[in-house]
Structure 1
Amino acid sequence: MRTSKLAEVSGYSVQQIRQLESLRVIPAATRLPNGYRCFSSLHLSALLAYRELASAVGPVLARDVMSKVQHLPLIESAALISGLGYSLEEERRQVVAAKTALTSIRKETETEIAVAERGSSARESMTITELSQALGVPPSTLRFWEKEGLVSPDRVEARSQTARVYRATAIRDARITAALRAGGYRIPEVVEAIGALHDLGDASRSLAALDERLEAVARRTLALFRAGSVLADLVDLGHR
């Protein structure tokens, strides 16, 4: 088919098709004796796959992947494609971990949540003794959590000694850790949950926002699957 026909059936403009061909996102068109481009159903599939892949991983990475899988060795092409699914699964796991952490402190009273997430006007920080008493764990447990990277108290000079001071974020992290540990979660799982909350930032404070993020990841994963069969065809074409 001619470029204009491919544009019509694919939804891309003629200029976009020429640009994607020059970037090697789609295979090079066959040239007719008169110099006109001639495209096949494979080119149409590649364009549609690129659209799905761009929805899954973003246009920049999608262009890079579409170009590379046609020219890399078979093993590297397959690894590149499988890595996309792995990255999406890691993102999903991060959001689930953050949701688990947030849910754990939502089980507490509203007053405790306010102290954990924002601090109260009366108590914006706590000493290790105060926090250990509030959580019902010994100070040695808090020191262990700090060593594992779960809680990060500030250090201040007091009476020629360095003392730990737990501010709002550290208090929240300690409460999350205590709740998850009480629920049977292992230290590596708690580390993942705390890290996810930090990485996701303010959005992690809303369970609704996390649910929306999970749905977005699910939709992107399905888009990746839809692009997958065409990517496999492109890899096969490059190794015939």
Structure 2
Amino acid sequence: MNTPLRPADLAREHGISTQAVRNYERDGFLPPAARTPSGYRVYTEVHASALRAFVSLVTAYGHATAGGILHAVNEADLPRALTLVDRGHEQLLRDRETLNTVRQAIGHLTAGPAPGPAATAWSVGELAHHLGVTAATVRAWERAGILTPARDRATGYRAADVRDAELTHLLRRGGHPLDHIATVVGQVRTAGGTESLAEALETWQDRLTARGLAMLDAAARLSAYLRSRP
């Protein structure tokens, strides 16, 4: 554990520059290094373990959170470090729940019957009645930019608007905020339907899986660093 290491030794393992290693120490991501009488830094396996933890935490949680976790550990504030870890897992869980909700909503819209001719120009009241909500709720969705009905002589909610409104209703019942729903509905609208979004959801799922696996790796690296500390 006390075998002296050079900045180059730590840098080589991760394919980074020696200056990056020095910067990480300066920023508090690594514990302070001892110095030789001539001023050269002397690192140990403890520093190597800290760097492994930091690099893996960046992959799992991002640079800011990874830095916060290592700052807390190096300041002997383990509760704060673990709180940051917990928040990362909480965000991942919320993302998984959102993904599942959107996937269910897309499946519902795809399996459901297509709006008939009567739905080509529904009024606010007709759309609200169809969804079982108030007209004020539909107007609120308009103000949030979720619904964009045509404003011409044939004004009203057309088939695409009905689809967007049904998706909005499903997501609202799942507790999702309007700004998030506006983003999802916008993606459906841009894609021209639910099929392209369904493909995008698979990519989203792959990213969440990769992040979850990265968190497992980061937890192991962080645990190893904690055990290596004096």
Taking structure 2 as the reference length, the TM-score comes to 0.71
Rate the CA distance shift 1:142–1:230 in 2: closer, same or farther, 3 A: same
Q: 2:176 aligns with which of 181, 186, 192?
A: 192
Matched, 1:229 2:225: no
Deviations 1:72-107 (A, max 9, x none): 633222212211111111122112211211121011
> Using CA pairs below 8 Å that are at least 6 residues apart, which structure has the higher relative contact order?
1
**Structure 2: how far apart are the matches of 1:18 and 1:10?**
14
Structure 1 segments unaligned to the other structure (5+ residues): 155-164
2:176 aligned with 1:202: no
User: How far apart, CA to CA, are the structure 1 residues paired with 2:87 and 2:78?
Assistant: 14
Native 8 Å contact 1:95 1:196 kept in 2? no
Question: Which runs of structure 2 are paired with 1:22-101 in the superposition (5 Å)?
Answer: 22-71=26-75, 73-101=77-105
Distance apart, 1:210 and its partner CA: 1.1
Cα offset, 1:50, TM superposition: 2.0
What's the secondary structure of 1:223's corresponding residue? helix
Distance 1:214 1:194, change over 3 A: farther
Offset at residue 15 of structure 1 (A): 0.8
CA distance 1:3–1:90, change in 2 (3 Å): same
Are 2:127 and 1:131 aligned? yes
Letter in 1 for 2:47: H
Matched, 1:214 2:205: yes
Paired residue secondary structure (2:122): strand
Query: Secondary structure, in 3 states, of the residue corresponding to 2:134?
Result: helix
2:124–2:135 Cα contact (<8 Å) kept: no
Deviation at 1:196, TM superposition (A): 5.0
**What is the root-mean-square deviation of aligned Cα atoms in Å?**
3.8
- Cα distance between partner residues in 2 of 1:237 and 1:61: 21
- Between Structure 1 and Structure 2, how many residues are aligned? 209
**Unpaired segments ≥5 residues, structure 2:** 149-155
Contact 1:50/1:63 (8 A) holds in 2: yes
The one of 6, 9, 18 aligned to 1:5? 9
Identical pairs, percent: 24
- TM-score, normalisation: structure 1: 0.68
Is the CA contact 2:92–2:212 (under 8 Å) kept in the aligned structure 1? yes
Structure 2 vs 1, CA of residues 66 and 170 (structure 1 numbering), >3 Å: closer, same or farther? farther
Distance 1:169 1:58, change over 3 A: farther
